[in-house]
A and B are shown apart, each in its own frame.
Chain A
């Protein structure tokens, strides 16, 4: 027996970064918005109090801020001819749950993508020719341009109080910023964070090698800040518990610290927690979404009718909801037909450690986005002729933490365990700097989501199945980046350097990064995408999908800045066009 609720104008599914942005934008427009969140209410002063938050066992290793896989997970394999098995524990990536979503436990590294990233296919074909792209590489243009997104990047950076230094102000190169970035219409709202010694060592070495180091753009506050919604953030205290942790000090921009204090007061907004959405419902003619069906923590099934449905879950769940709801055709890599689940991508991570005898890193004096970076080898900032790959990544030294369960670097040749290992940890804990490469992953025919034939979730639905491995392009790209990393690391004046190439084949167990992308990608036509440039479903025009699932491939930057810019861009179009004429905003 399904309970049927009164119809709402807008239902938002999932209440993290994009759910909060969508709800804030549409309630400001006067819409009646209901957000459904599977998890529970969470707020800074109570749930993330500074005297509880710095607990590595509780948060990092007992997953307190992460999703509960006993309810739903996915299955995984590297190749289509293997049998997928369930991801039984979290490892490679850490989606969040509860109010605030994954954004509660992010580091705050807040990048813009390069203008050419949005024309990944046409740009590369124009510069390097069709033959530069392998036959199984399925990258494509986004349908939206950097210039269209620029005001929305700017809006998000001001919402968050991002700390940084512009490298390109309205086309004019600025000393000290990233000279490769797309134009900025204004300077960052806050100055760069004060640097600790390690990123400065990286910057010195990079400069000596002829690169242009600049401060990483940071959502950790470099000073007290009041955002355009009137919400106040406090200066970061450099406690080193950002990624995988919540900030108890109101010093990291999240939906909870930048939007909710304003949004929750609005009478035309309602949040309902403990509401696990199982599917999107649609009319018999397959022309519009009619609402969503969810199940409460007590096990009651509820139908929530709505005039407009916005999916704001983590990408795996957005894609899964499409599959479970029969919206669109699930991708078949054999035939290339279907777009739901197509073009899954990830991130190519590698790095080096520099070991010193005397230099003290004091790694616990850190912050999630405290670092210096270079962008010479990202995107198409360098000539790829003859290199055998497209794409790239940034190289950086972030001093994010000294949390010792997770971070106790030892040089190559150290015993795996025992007395020698223990001594090496003691000798090197305070004397190691990491240099990392954060590389792009292009989309390929063999990397995708579909449904698993064997395993089911707690609600009886088939689990989604992920098939993914790093292909030749990413392996070559990452090796190239890692050589550049090693070049800088060797110039940093340490005793010795250990280099860590990207691990191939892709392994779902060790943590790499929570930057999963694709599966409900945006594009120029319904033939090659799930949504148009406004994140609007081609199939059901009153259904919108937010998040990195929209990325047709994954550039060499952290995704959150672009995820948020796409959400603002979508909502601006909804406010300007869709609400007056609720139909497709791009004609197919």
Chain B
């Protein structure tokens, strides 16, 4: 086995394990993963972040409209950009199209039950959670002769989101609070995460709060004494990402 393949072995999913796909990709004699007599090292073996791929999409156009409207209520525009203006919808869509959305490293075996509030995430994989929840919410509005979510007033959108967050909205196929919590968490990730993943456009969210990003040496400023510091942020993808 080539050492540069090793990153992928670490997160080989249950699916790959069970299907035997790994055996095709990584067939190797036992001794290949034996280390003896020194530190294994070879040049250029670092594993950089996977850059955002704008062509990786999971959401349908209607679902994207829903997510756009919802995340812009969670983080609306003011002097600083809204969630969607900073790329949060692109971030979420890209995440749902990949390993995260599929739940590759999560335990996704049944039986699925709702569980107690203390028992954590009990929904299907995140991509399916989004699909089921959005469909259920839209169907619920239609059944109540309400306008579609994206047509609701901002106040009504907030009321609906708040009800989901409080666990007061029963959805037919999945858990409303789990959906809200997941959407909120993903929104924070897209808004405040490194722009290399598709959100936080131009590092605007970092500028808004004064977070300098992927800097790694603050020794000259340890003794700041409570005075604000002012750094230009940087990304793990470099200063000019996006």
Contacts and interface: CB of A to CB of B under 8 A. Distances in A.
Contacts, number: 273
A69 B106 CA distance: 5
A418 B223 contact: no
Contacts of B221: 362, 365
Contacts of B152: none
A203 to B, nearest CB: 14
Contacts of B75: 417-418, 421-422
B46 A49 contact: yes
B224 A91 contact: no
A63 B189 CA distance: 13
Contacts of B61: none
A237 B76 CA distance: 36
B36 A364 contact: no
Contacts of B184: 417
B73 interface: yes
A508 B13 contact: no
State which size class the interface on A falls in. Answer: 35 or more
B33 A274 contact: yes
Contacts of A55: 49, 194, 196, 214, 236
A551 interface: no
Interface in B33-82: 33-41, 45-49, 73-76, 78, 80
Contact of B224 (A83, A365, A505, A507): A365
Interface in A1-50: 3, 39-43, 45-47, 49-50
Given A76-B119, A273-B35, A56 B192 contact: yes
Interface stretch (A170-178, A295-303, A473-481): A295-303
A507 B107 contact: no
A248 B49 contact: no
For the residues of A in contact with B, the DSSP-based class is: loop
B13 A68 contact: yes
A472 interface: no
Given A298-B26, A426-B208, A458-B17, A237 B224 contact: no
B28 A298 contact: yes
Interface stretch (A132-140, A401-409, A533-541): A401-409
B132 interface: no
Given A47-B46, A54-B214, A360-B229, A40 B219 contact: no
Interface string B215-227: 1111101111111
Interface string A123-142: 00000000000000000000
Interface in B187-236: 188-189, 192-194, 196-197, 205-206, 208-219, 221-229, 236
Contacts of A76: 119-120
A362 B209 contact: no
B229 A261 contact: no
B6 A40 contact: yes
Given A89-B120, A237-B219, A404 B36 contact: no
Nearest to A416: B165
B12 to A, nearest CB: 6
A402 to B, nearest CB: 6
Contacts of B161: 417
A86 to B, nearest CB: 5
Contact of A51 (B33, B111, B214): B214
A571 interface: no
| Contact-size category for B | 35 or more
A43 B23 CA distance: 25
A296 B31 CA distance: 11
Contacts of A45: 41, 46
B216 to A, nearest CB: 4
A418 B73 contact: yes
A430 interface: yes
Given A71-B14, A422-B75, A360 B39 contact: no
Interface in A47-89: 47, 49-58, 61-64, 68-71, 73, 76-78, 82-83, 85-89
Interface string A407-440: 0100000001111011101100110000000000
A508 B118 contact: yes
Nearest to B11: A68
A239 B216 contact: yes
Given A70-B13, A274-B33, A405 B188 contact: yes
Contacts of A422: 75-76, 78, 80
A248 B18 CA distance: 34
A299 B17 contact: yes
Given A264-B35, A429-B211, A56 B216 contact: no
Nearest to A276: B17
A77 B103 CA distance: 22
Nearest to B14: A70
Contacts of A239: 215-218
Given A85-B115, A249-B216, A419-B78, A197 B10 contact: no
A547 to B, nearest CB: 21
Contacts of A516: none
Contact of A54 (B14, B41, B104, B213): B213
Nearest to A510: B120
A405 B118 contact: no
A69 B107 contact: yes
A387 interface: no
B106 to A, nearest CB: 5
Interface in A296-319: 296-300, 302
B212 A404 contact: no
A430 B40 contact: no
A180 interface: no
Contacts of B10: 39-40, 42, 68, 97-98
Contacts of B189: 56-57, 61, 405
B15 A70 contact: yes
A89 B225 contact: no
A194 B73 contact: no
Contacts of A51: 214, 216, 236
Interface of B: 3, 6-7, 9-15, 17-18, 20, 22-23, 26-28, 30, 33-41, 45-49, 73-76, 78, 80, 99-100, 103-109, 111, 113, 115-122, 158, 161-162, 165, 184-185, 188-189, 192-194, 196-197, 205-206, 208-219, 221-229, 236
Given A89-B120, A248-B216, 4 more contacts: A68-B14, A404-B211, A408-B192, A456-B109
7 contacts: A41-B40, A43-B41, A47-B47, A248-B216, A298-B28, A422-B78, A458-B14
